[in-house]
Amino acid sequence: MENKYSNKYLIETGIGLQDVDGLKNSSYFLSQADKYINGEISLDELDKIINSYYENKPGEDARTEEADIVSNRIAQIISNDSFTFTVGQLVSIHKRLFDGVYNHAGKLRDFNFIKKEWVLDGRSVIYGDYHELQSTLEYDFESERKFKYVGLSKDEIIEHLATFVSNLWQIHAFQEGNTRTTAVFFIKYLRSLGFDVTNDVFAKNAWYFRNALVRANFRFIGKGINDDKSYLILFLRNLLLKEHNVLRNRDLRISVDKENDEPLPRELRIVELIKANPKISIDELANRIGVSPRTIKNITAVLVKNNKIKRIKNYLITLIFDILLI
């Protein structure tokens, strides 16, 4: 049923969701994706083209290859409505997305970890204990399965959905690819509930979606910070009610230094973003920090001069950095 949804929606959602992990697609993939959008090739044909491309180009950037492969797989999965509301479906989606990309595709993680978040100035959400992942997932799924939406207002429905998806994400069932898996599962679940989610909210605001999930699951009572689902609710109102709330990542940031409550320097925030994605562009840095590209260029020039970062290559748009100690 590939034609039920527009080609543009499918492929742009797949591409947009790579932003949750700072991944960018290759120009080759984008050119081939345009052929799919224009109806010249199918998703299966696009898959074969991309696989062949990387088979003939060993040593290509692994992150770009991941973005290309997974973008197309997301489009394939959301191109139809087949769905079961089970933990097995969630695991199956992770397997389908990342088979051959991660050696742990389709496997629940078997260790605990922390993940420094830009939006939290380097702090981490507390994720679910790996010993209890299966039982915690089963409990949340059963609770949601029993939940009755009848008689609820639109506001109440959206608030409940925000709670469900933020809880699912916080369990963090998988070692990598958790947010993309959660997003794809959630899109299919929303459809099963009768919602139209064929707009471009995920395609254009995937990183905001992830940051909103972070804020919905972070509390630091000693600093007066509570978990806050309001940002996730704004995202869902745009997605489900077709509202036009402004979604800006900088609005979600907790700009308090751990030691002295001073704002975290922009320089350190830039370095953290470069660490997460060495191929991040000047324009994207500007968007995420909330300043102009000229300001980013000035700051990175100073960082290079002070040996905080080292420029390896200079493309027309993208600067690639090798991170040094800061």
6/143 same-domain check? no
CA nearest 70: which of 117, 2, 104, 19? Answer: 19
0.75 exceeded by pTM: yes
165/258 same-domain check? yes
253/135 same-domain check? yes
Q: 190: Cβ–Cβ under 8 A, 6 or more apart, which residues?
A: 161, 197, 239, 240
Q: 104: Cβ–Cβ under 8 A, 6 or more apart, which residues?
A: 174, 175, 176
Q: Within 13 Å, how many C-alpha atoms sit on residue 91's CB side?
A: 13
257/177 same-domain check? yes
170/304 same-domain check? no
Q: What is the pLDDT of residue 1?
A: 43
Domain boundary among 237, 263, 289: 263
Give the amino acid at 245. N
Q: What is the pLDDT of residue 3?
A: 59
- Cα 19 from Cα 232, distance rounded (Å): 17
Q: What is the pLDDT of residue 267?
A: 76
> Domain of 294: which CATH number?
1.10.10.10
Q: What is the pLDDT of residue 299?
A: 83
Give the amino acid at 14. G
**For the chain, how many helices (H) and strands (E)?**
13, 2
115/226 same-domain check? yes
Per-residue pLDDT of the chain (326 residues; tens, 9 = 90+): 445 799 999 999 999 999 998 899 999 999 999 999 999 999 999 999 999 999 887 766 888 999 999 999 999 999 999 999 999 999 999 999 999 999 999 999 999 999 889 889 888 999 999 999 999 999 999 999 999 999 999 999 999 999 999 999 999 999 999 999 999 999 999 999 999 999 999 999 999 999 999 999 999 888 788 899 999 999 999 999 999 999 999 889 886 444 443 434 677 778 877 877 777 888 888 777 767 788 888 888 888 877 777 776 554 334 444 444 33
* Residue listed under structure tokens 């949750």: 20
Residues in the chain: 326
Q: What is the pLDDT of residue 244?
A: 94
Q: What is the pLDDT of residue 311?
A: 72
How many whole angstroms from its chain centre is CA 13? 11
Q: What is the pLDDT of residue 259?
A: 43
36/111 same-domain check? no
What is the per-residue DSSP string for 199-241? SSHHHHHHHHHHHHHHHHT--BGGGTB----HHHHHHHHHHHH
- Cα 294 from Cα 238, distance rounded (Å): 31
280/230 same-domain check? no
DSSP 3-state assignment of 68? helix
112/255 same-domain check? yes
Q: For the chain, what is the domain count?
A: 3
142/188 same-domain check? yes
126/68 same-domain check? no
CA nearest 267: which of 293, 292, 298, 294? Answer: 298
> Domain of 95: which CATH number?
1.10.3290.10
Tokens of 77: 């999965």
Q: What is the pLDDT of residue 264?
A: 47
Q: What is the pLDDT of residue 255?
A: 65
Tokens of 245: 């709330």
- Cα 168 from Cα 128, distance rounded (Å): 10
217/274 same-domain check? no
Q: Which domain holds residue 171?
A: 85-263
Domain boundary among 64, 80, 96: 80
- Cα 309 from Cα 197, distance rounded (Å): 41
Domain boundary among 22, 48, 80: 80
Q: What is the pLDDT of residue 324?
A: 46
Q: What is the pLDDT of residue 222?
A: 81
